[in-house]
Structure 1
Amino acid sequence: MDDDPKNTSRYRTGLEVRRSVLGDPHVDRAGDAATDFDRPFQQLITEAAWGTVWARPGLSKRERSIVTLALLAALGHDEEVAMHVRATANTGASRDDIREAFLHVAIYAGVPAANRAFRIAKEVFSQMDEAPHA
């Protein structure tokens, strides 16, 4: 019997979805940086976030991207906001979509959270515009 979580269909699906959203370089860096300490966490997010939630058929990747950005911005998870702004190059969420999500954040989660999210997105957009194929 094979107990390796990497051999489950949910893990394999999660890894495929994670790569399609975040890109191979990001996922490879996360995998290469994993240690015995945090490897179970990487497996958990690959299976649960990517293999369960992001793989569901109810919303498109674009829609999930917009929802994710709004939630991360509302909760003040700045590094994750930046990562998911970069991921919009793969999900189809436009800059207009991101702006609308952050305007929603301003009303429902507070102007400071939206202000921070707008600042992060502008920085990421600038980086993306300077190196569109990086």
Structure 2
Amino acid sequence: MTEQKTRAQQLVGDVAPKLAELTDEVLFGDVWARADLSRRDRSMVTVAALTALGRTEQLRSHLSLALDNGVTEEELVEAATHLAFYAGWPAGMTAATTLKEVLRER
């Protein structure tokens, strides 16, 4: 029986196995599991940060994770609109178009 690889292992496990391990064990195994902020709220914070920083590759997967964590489509649209004023219009537009793609793929 083959163990299913995590997303981090799929993306970089072959070239940066320690980075994949830290992503799985520390980031998602510890930081995301901390009780003082819900996974839903962590998703909103992460989407906002990735939008503001223009990290589109990671934004795509975190938009999908946000939906899995209970953030609604409407809330993500509102976040993109709100962020357009704080992170810049291109960032808000990129978040909205990336969300559109993620929703189409789901």
Flag whether TM exceeds 0.5 (same fold): yes
Q: After TM superposition, what 4+ stretches of structure 1 lie above 3 angstroms from structure 2?
A: none
Task: Say yes or no: does 1:48 pair with 2:23.
Answer: no
Unpaired segments ≥5 residues, structure 1: 1-24, 129-134
Counting only pairs closer than 5 Å after superposition, residues 1-134 of structure 1 correspond to structure 2 as: 27=6, 30-32=8-10, 34-35=13-14, 37-128=15-106
**TM-score, normalised on structure 1?**
0.68
Which amino acid is 1:49 matched to? L
* Larger RCO: 1 or 2 (CA < 8 Å, sep 6+): 1
Shift of 1:38: 0.4
Structure label with greater radius of gyration: 1
- 1:21-42 CA distances to partner (integer Å, 9 max, x unpaired)? xxxx772x5425612x400001
Q: Which moved more, 1:106-115 or 1:48-57?
A: 48-57
Shift of 1:80: 0.9
**TM-score, normalised on structure 2?**
0.83
Given that 1:74 and 1:109 are in contact with CA atoms closer than 8 Å, whether structure 2 keeps it comes out as yes
**Cα distance in structure 1, aligned partners of 2:19 and 2:65:** 21
**Cα distance in structure 1, aligned partners of 2:76 and 2:5:** 21
Which amino acid is 1:44 matched to? L
- 1:34-54 CA distances to partner (integer Å, 9 max, x unpaired)? 12x400001111233212321
Shift of 1:85: 1.4
Q: Between Structure 1 and Structure 2, how many residues are aligned?
A: 102
**Cα distance in structure 1, aligned partners of 2:5 and 2:49:** 21
**Cα distance in structure 2, aligned partners of 1:66 and 1:100:** 11
Q: What is the alpha-carbon root mean square deviation over aligned residues?
A: 1.9
